[in-house]
Structure formats: C-alpha cells, structure tokens
Structure 1
C-alpha cells in the first residue's frame, strides 16, 4: 500500500478491519493523525445519543448569523442568515462537511460531552480541542508559522486504528442506543464526496463515509458493504507538503483503501 502514497508524494497511514472477524490490514495505524472534518463523526454520534436519551429535540432550530458563517460549503458559505433544525444541521455536517453546521451542533451538544464519549468508548488516543471554528482560530493565530492545526500532537487528532474501531462500534450498535447508531450510519451514507474511497469501489459495493481536508491533510474513514453482506471499516490519512487540488492524492487514498479490503477479502 505504501507505494500508492509514495507515488503521490505523501505519507500515508491506514487501518482496515473486517467487521466480523479479527482480520486487519495496517500501515502505521497507531501513529497520531490530524482528524480535520472526520471529527464530525463523533460529533454527530454524540448528538444522536443525546436525542435518543431525550436530552435534545432534533427539531429544535439553530440560526447561523454572519459571525457564525466562516466560509465553505453549506450554510457556512451563505450570504444571509440561515435557520435549520438540529437534525438537518447533522445532515449538513456529514453530507457536505458544513463547518458552521458542525459549530452550531458542538454548541448544543458540548465539546466536553464529545470528549467524554471518546473516553467512554475506549478511544483514549482521540483528542478533540474544540469545534471547527476553534481549529480555524488557531490557523489564524499561527499566521502560516508552525501551524498547530497540521500537528496531530497539538490539534484534534486520533489514530487510524481508533477510527476504524469507532466505525465498528457504530455498525455493531455498540456506540450508543441502536437508533442513534443507525442514524449516524444513515447520515454517513449521504456524503457527497465520492472521489476518494468511494471512487475505488464498484457500484455494487455500498459505501458510507466522511472525508477530512486541511492544507496538506487529506483523509477519509468509512465502511464498505459488499453484496455478500461482508463489511469493512477503513481509515486512511495522509499528510505532505503540496499545493493545488492534487486529485492524485485522492486517488491514492482510494487505491490504498481498495487494496486493503482486497487483502482482507482474499
């Protein structure tokens, strides 16, 4: 697998596990990696758990005002104030990676509660410094010098192994009440970013996942379900010095993921 990353000029980290056995494939799977927008998966999981517990009404409204809209996709890039329900904010956070939707959700569920959830699930190498706006604040403060947001030891981070474990718990209904896990699985299936992992699989393979992107960081975690019912949790993280769109890196992420799953199926 390392050859895919070497060809693209990035360092890659990968973990894939068969959901149903102890089989796994790994490449530096216990090294710390920057989560970027992958953090929206534990965020939405905590939201779904609070809804299932009756602590939050998913129909409650949130409003994104000018100070909340920091640019990007979804309501984050709107010119005017936007209002939507909490459950629609969860959809926007996972489907189009809407940072403002994620910020508003973090405000409601509490950063501390998302951190506690990771501890409860045994994901002790996963660290969450705050909402997307908090990571952006560090980027602005660092002003291009020694950027904390690109350092997994100083920003929101985890390991590939812990991220596939998180997916395993969600897919087994062990990360919370079954209805909460089911909601997260369903929302991950709405992701519109198909050009990394999803693009490497045939149409007959169902895929649900979440990308993460920052300058010099491109990631994705997700679960591939084959027609025979076998499922595979995948986490691929990359880092490197580059500029531009670099579709070759996206393709390398997909190729490495597919290679790992092919090894597991063999």
Structure 2
C-alpha cells in the first residue's frame, strides 16, 4: 500500500497532478482482484455531489432483480420533480413518461436530477440506507437532488420565482459560495474515497446483491456519456465505467477501470477547487491523470 505520507511514487506524482490543477485532492484506488491499493487522503470525508447516485442505482437494481420493482413500469416526471439544472428530463418543457429502467439509466448516464428523484422515491431512501449499512458503507450518505439544490437557494437567499434569478446569482460572491451547505461533507451527501471504492468493489464482484443486479449497475455505469474526467486518462481499449459529481468548486468521479488483460481497478477521486466556476478543464483532467498514476503503479 502507498499512502500520502510515503516519500515515494506514486504519492509524489499524485500530489504534483493535483498541485498543477490547483486543487485539493483525495484518492483511493484498489485492485479488484487482489489486496493492493493506492491511498491519498483516502479516509478524508468528502462531498459526493452526484456520485451519490451510485447507491441509488444499486438499490433500484436490487429491487428489480428481486421482483419488488418492475423495470418496465411507467412513471411520469413532472415539474414537481425537477431541480432546475436542465439536464435530461429535468430540462424537458412538458411531462415525460418512461420506464423505471430508463429513469435509472438517465440518472447515471447523464446525471439527470429529476430522474434521480423519481427513482429515489420509487426505491425509498430508507432502503438505500439499509443497503449501504448491509454493505458496511456507513460513512456514505445520500440525498435528493431537489433537496440538495433547494438548500443552495436557501443559503444564498435567492428568490427562485423572480424574473432576475440569473442576476441574483451573479451578485453572489465566491466567499458566499464557499460556505454553501452542499460543499460541507458534514451537512450534505458524503463518503470517503476508500468507502466508495469498497462499494464499487462489491458491485463488480457480485457481492452487493444478486448477480443480476450488480451486472445491471455495471452495464448502466459503462454507458456514462461524460468523457472528460476519469476516462480521459485511459486509451479506448480500456473500459471505464463511472459516475461524475459536480458542484461549485467540487469535481469528482468514482468508477472502475478494466484493462484488456482482465485486471480491474476501482477508483474514487474527489477534488476541491478555490474556483467556483463550472468549467475547470484542468481539474477535470486531473481526475484521469491521478487515477492513471495510481493504476500504473499497481500494474508495475
């Protein structure tokens, strides 16, 4: 095991990646078929952002595999479900009807917040919590998307019904943004890098529930559409399945990297930036670079 206290590679290289991107980073990478791991602040409590959708997807798949939830059952996404970020069904002008399976896919592949809240309502937050406890992922907490974004409105004193919402947001200072509840792991959905890779390991080893459920989560995560973070560090022949998480000054991704030789690695990278912008290309790329440094070390 390599830790962030070791004066050898890859810790120094990982630190250099994070320093170059001007971010504070936390990382855990584990070999899914062995005991080797790379740690860099891996037990630090971190904000999940949309990475919390992984345990929701797992609970959906477990209930579908057991027959408690009908994958083909039709559900309507209405304005009441929309958090306001405009991605997927959240950005649709009219109500959208789709199956539970498709809602789960939208939640994971493009991080559709409205679909997430519908799926969470279907499976029950208490069941997500029970599954995490069963898997000994007790440091991992989830929330609803609309609930999460509503806290931002409350924290900033924004009137979402006014016509000048964009102007209200433009007047918010970076210092106020840094104090948001959603950026505090003690007050929002959170985990540790080590625990998120533990959850991924259970899914990839068919230990997180019925094999059918684990396979469904793997398949959905393999279709994520965002290529700019974890997968940016790896060539096309290397399969990357993941889930991103994005908030003001927060850039995350957790996933599994699978090589043609059969070796598999669970990865959790969580970054914090002083910049509150939503376009942070160096931070995005640092996730793939840091993961590659860690995996190259394990493969060596």
- Residue 76 of structure 2 contacts residue 98 of structure 2 at CA under 8 Å; is this kept in 1? yes
Equivalent of 2:194 in 161, 164, 167: 161
The correspondence for 2:145, drawn from 121, 132, 135, is: 132
For residues 67-216 of structure 1, what are the structure 2 equivalents within 5 Å?
67-71=80-84, 72-128=86-142, 130-143=143-156, 144=176, 146-216=179-249
What RMSD, in angstroms, separates the aligned Cα atoms of the two structures?
1.0
TM-score (norm 1): 0.97
Residue correspondences, number: 265
SS at match of 1:174: coil
Within 1, Cα distance between the matches of 2:280 and 2:69?
41
- Where does the alignment leave 5 or more consecutive residues of structure 2 unmatched? 1-13, 157-175
Q: What secondary structure does 1:133 align onto?
A: helix
1:67 match: secondary structure:
helix
Alpha-carbon separation, structure 2, partners of 1:68 and 1:38: 19
Cα distance, 1:69 vs structure 2: 2.2
Separation in 2, partners of 1:177, 1:196: 30
Distance 1:57 1:95 in 2: 20
Q: Is the 8 A contact 1:31 1:160 kept in 2?
A: yes
* Segments ≥4 residues shifted beyond 6 Å: none
What is the SS of the residue equivalent to 1:75?
Answer: helix
Question: Whose Rg is larger?
Answer: 2
Q: Structure 2 length as normaliser, TM-score?
A: 0.86
**Does the CA contact (< 8 Å) of 1:70 and 1:77 recur in 2?**
no
Residue matched to 2:283: 249
Distance 1:239 1:61 in 2: 38
Tell me if 1:6 matches 2:13: no
Q: Deviations over 1:187-238 (max 9, x none)?
A: 0000000111101101111111110101111100111111100001100000
The alpha-carbon deviation at position 133 of structure 1 amounts to 1.2
- 1:127 deviates by 1.8
Distance 2:282 2:128 in 1: 34
2:50 matches 1:17: no
Gaps of 5+ in 1: none
Match of 1:37 in 2: 50
Describe the SS at the equivalent of 2:58.
helix
